[in-house]
Structure 1
Amino acid sequence: MPTANTALRGISLVCLTTPKQDEAVTFYESIGFEKRTDTPFGGGYRWIEMYPPEGSTGIALAPPPEGSTVEPAQTGITLTTGDIDAAHADMLAAGVDVDAEVSRMGDPVPPMFWFRDPSGHTLMVVQNTD
C-alpha cells in the first residue's frame, strides 16, 4: 500500500514521440501552447515540454529511440475549450488537420473534434461544460 510520500498524485506530462521536434514545437505554439523546457541530453537528443495556457499538465515532445520509427497514435489526450465552434474554426483556418466538423453526440457527451499533429498523432478537443 502506498504511503503519503509514495502515493501517485497527478499527471504532470504526457509524452509524444516526434522525429521532427522543431516542427512539432512550431505547431503546438501555433495552437496556443508555450514551450517551457528545451534541454539537450545524451546522444544529441532534446527534452521539450509544451504547456497549454491553463492547467498544469504538459506534453513532452520526445525523440524516438535511435533506429526506430514513429507510428501515428490515437493519443487519448483531451484538450478543453470554452467555445468548441470557435476553436474548430480557428484551427481549420490555421491549416491544422482537423475533423471536418464538430461531433455532437448529445448529453452527457460534450461537443468535440479531433485533430492531428505533424507526426500524425491524434488529439481531441472538447467543450468545457463548467
Structure 2
Amino acid sequence: MKVTLISIPVRDQEKALKFYTEKLGFLKKKDAPLGGGNRWLTLVSPEWQDGPELLLEPAPNHFEPCKVFQDALMEAGFPYTQFDVENVDAEYDRLIKLGVEFSVKPTEMGTAKFAVFNDTCGNNIQIVEML
C-alpha cells in the first residue's frame, strides 16, 4: 500500500492553483472539469513528479462539516498539513519576498525546524526541515 493522493480543502480552486504553483512552486498534473464549476485539480512537487499528487479539493464549498473543520483549524492556528523542505530559513525568506504571510517564523524544536504560513485558501501549512 502507498499514498498516491493527498487532499487539501480550498475555497477557491483557481486562487489555490495560482498560490500553489506561482508561490510554492508545485506543478499542475491533472485538471479535469467535474461540473458545477468544480475541477479534479492535482499538483505535484517538481522534485518528485511521480510522487503523491496534491488534490485541491473544493469540499468546504459543498460539505459543511469540512468547512467547519477547516475554520476550526485556522482559528486554532493548527496547520492542515506539512511540506518538507531542505532549508526552512531559505524557504521562509523566499516566500516572504513573494508576499506569503507566516504566523510562525522559523522555530527549532528538538530535531526539526518549522514555520507556518497561510495559503490564502483557508489553511495553515507547515514547512519542516529535519536537523
- Could you tell me the TM-score, scaled by structure 2's length? 0.78
Aligned-residue identity in percent: 24
Aligned to 1:84: 88
Aligned to 2:14: 22
Shift of 1:66: 3.2
Compared with structure 1, are the counterparts of its residues 111 and 66 closer, same or farther at alpha carbon in structure 2 (3 Å cutoff)? closer
Kindly indicate whether the alpha-carbon contact (under 8 Å) linking 2:79 and 2:116 is maintained by their aligned counterparts in 1: no
Residue in structure 2 matching 1:37, options 25, 30, 36: 30
Structure showing the higher helix proportion among its residues: 2
Structure showing the higher strand proportion among its residues: 2
Extract unaligned runs of 5+ from structure 1. 1-8
Compared with structure 1, are the counterparts of its residues 103 and 41 closer, same or farther at alpha carbon in structure 2 (3 Å cutoff)? same
Shift of 1:85: 0.8
Q: What pairs with 1:63-102 in structure 2 (closer than 5 Å)?
A: 63-64=58-59, 66=62, 68=64, 70=67, 71-72=70-71, 73=73, 74-102=78-106
Kindly indicate whether the alpha-carbon contact (under 8 Å) linking 2:104 and 2:117 is maintained by their aligned counterparts in 1: no
Kindly indicate whether the alpha-carbon contact (under 8 Å) linking 2:115 and 2:127 is maintained by their aligned counterparts in 1: yes
Number of aligned pairs?
119
Aligned to 1:59: 54
Aligned to 2:125: 123
TM-align CA RMSD: 2.1
Counterpart Cα distance in 2 of 1:75 and 1:127: 15
Shift of 1:17: 1.9
